[in-house]
Amino acid sequence: MEKKIIIMGGGPGGYVAAIRAAQLGAKVTLIEKEALGGTCLNKGCIPTKALYRNAELVNNLKASEDFGILVDNFTLEVNKIQERKNGIVHQLVSGVEQLMKANNIEVRKGHGVLYSCEENIKKVKITLDDGREEIVEGDNIIIATGSHTFIPPIQGVNNEGVITSDDIINFKEIPKSLVIIGGGVIGMEFGAIFNSFGTKVTIVEALPSILNMVDGEIVKRLNPMLRKKDIEVHTGAMVKSIEKHEDKLLVNVEGKKGEFTLEGEKVLIATGRKPNIQGLNLEEVNIEYDKKGIKTEDNYETSVKGIYAIGDVNGKWMLAHAASHQGVEVAERIMGIDNQGSTLIPNCIFIFPEIASLGATEEQLKAEGINYKTSKFLFGANGKALALGEGEGLIKVISDEDNKIIGVHILGPHASDLIHEGVVIMNKEVKVEDIKHMVHAHPTLSEAFYEAVLALNNEAIHAVPSRRK
């Protein structure tokens, strides 16, 4: 008997789940009220990485003299930057649309709400773009409605010039100054981009540290790099209010040493995202949720049998690749394939230099009382990094008492690519002794990972021997 699956949301969780379910023979209806691809493709991951590439090229031009290339001056054409970014997004959205057609997935444009969740037949009511309503039926439902920007209750947050990440990607002018409220991934990435564009960037973070989810040593080494780039960071600081004063915004902050005021042409609210759970009719169909998102079991099934929640809406990992992975896992489980999935989710932060991490941090291991070893290798001792002109940063690895790698943390060139060596090794539970016999090509950045692993046993060739016993 053919399975009928309804998927609510066409982002990286929903559309990937739809394709995998269709591949396995399911009849799939996907409901999306906006463009396919979700926040990631339309307002997040992809447009920001397009802008990041612009910023990267600007940084290269600024450093061109070091390579014997003299550039007298250059200008940034915002219209061209936006055209390129929008073109990339359009190309990828069109690609997803074609994949829906190629896999015979029915796409319904509109807003869906849970209507009836009986044991055998589950129903979703769709309000279509033209105002008509219709009801679709299925054996299973996958909720993949994503998340939205969180706006904190700060006095003056509605002033003109106070913007969110949804707004800033469509900038028409490069601001002379930008105050960013929030030192998490979103705030730091936009800070890096606009700093490269010539904007004076100031970041305000309420927690004791920026990027609080990242290994502490990585952040400690990042901070002087930010100061060198003239990015001002205030941690342990709470924004009390925002005032409009002529053509400037005044951000009133209470910090460790008292109150102070920051000035910016624009203020970016980058205080995180919240799951899209409103308007889904969750209460009426008895699906449990809280402010963190829809509650699920380890298999992503909700409190109602046969209904699953994946991606940002379940609040576990607000990362596009986590949503896609969960989508495949759930689609296969519905179709009778036992897929245990993986909880090893890499996290990549696109600043200068890049940060990528996987697995345990030192702080987590200390808090849990787990014995471990750490080692690191500096990119300043790596030939490829120096040839690239990107010798800042390091690769840090953590192993347990059995010499199994349990954490990889990278600050440096192409960290978002290098982390995947750690992904393979940690998923396969490879030990240091096994990695030692894996030949790494020279000269490559990957050699830094190899040397960092060897250093766990004090066997790194291109590093000063550790004094530890």
pLDDT (tens digit per residue) in 348-388:
999 999 999 999 999 999 999 999 999 999 999 999 999 99
The contacts of residue 45 (CB under 8 Å, 6+ apart) are 320
Tell me how far apart the alpha carbons of residues 263 and 176 are, in angstroms, rounded to a whole number: 11
Structure tokens at 313: 């809406």
**Residues labelled as active-site residues:** 442
Token pair 């969740």 is at which residue? 117
| 415 neighbors 365 (Cβ within 8 angstroms) | no
The answer on whether 331 is annotated among ligand-binding residues is no
Which class does domain 162-271 fall in? alpha beta
Number of H helices, E strands in the chain: 13, 24
Burial class (CB in 10 A: 0-12, 13-18, 19+), 54: middle
Q: Whole-prediction pTM value?
A: 0.95
pLDDT, tens digit (0-9, with 9 covering 90-100), for 402-445: 999 999 999 999 999 999 999 999 999 999 999 999 999 999 99
On the question of pLDDT at 469 being above 60, the answer is: no
Structure tokens at 86: 């929008």
The answer on whether 205 is annotated among ligand-binding residues is yes
The ranges assigned to domains in the chain are: 4-149+274-334, 162-271, 353-457
The contacts of residue 441 (CB under 8 Å, 6+ apart) are 447
In the CATH scheme, what is the homologous superfamily, with its name and number, of domain 4-149+274-334? Answer: FAD/NAD(P)-binding domain (3.50.50.60)
Assess whether the region 4-149+274-334 and the region 162-271 belong to the same CATH fold: yes
Q: Which residues of 415-445 are buried (b: 16+ CB within 10 A; e: fewer)?
A: bbebbebbbebbeeebbbeebeeeeeeeebb
The answer on whether 185 is annotated among ligand-binding residues is yes
Q: How far is CA 134 from the centre of its chain?
A: 35
pLDDT, tens digit (0-9, with 9 covering 90-100), for 53-90: 999 999 999 999 999 999 988 999 999 999 999 999 99
For 353-457, CATH number out of 1.10.580.10, 1.10.10.10, 3.40.50.720, 3.30.390.30 equals 3.30.390.30
pLDDT, tens digit (0-9, with 9 covering 90-100), for 46-55: 999 999 999 9
Q: Letter for the amino acid at 148?
A: H
The answer on whether 335 is annotated among ligand-binding residues is no
| Closest residue by Cα to residue 241 from 231, 253, 232, 258 | 253
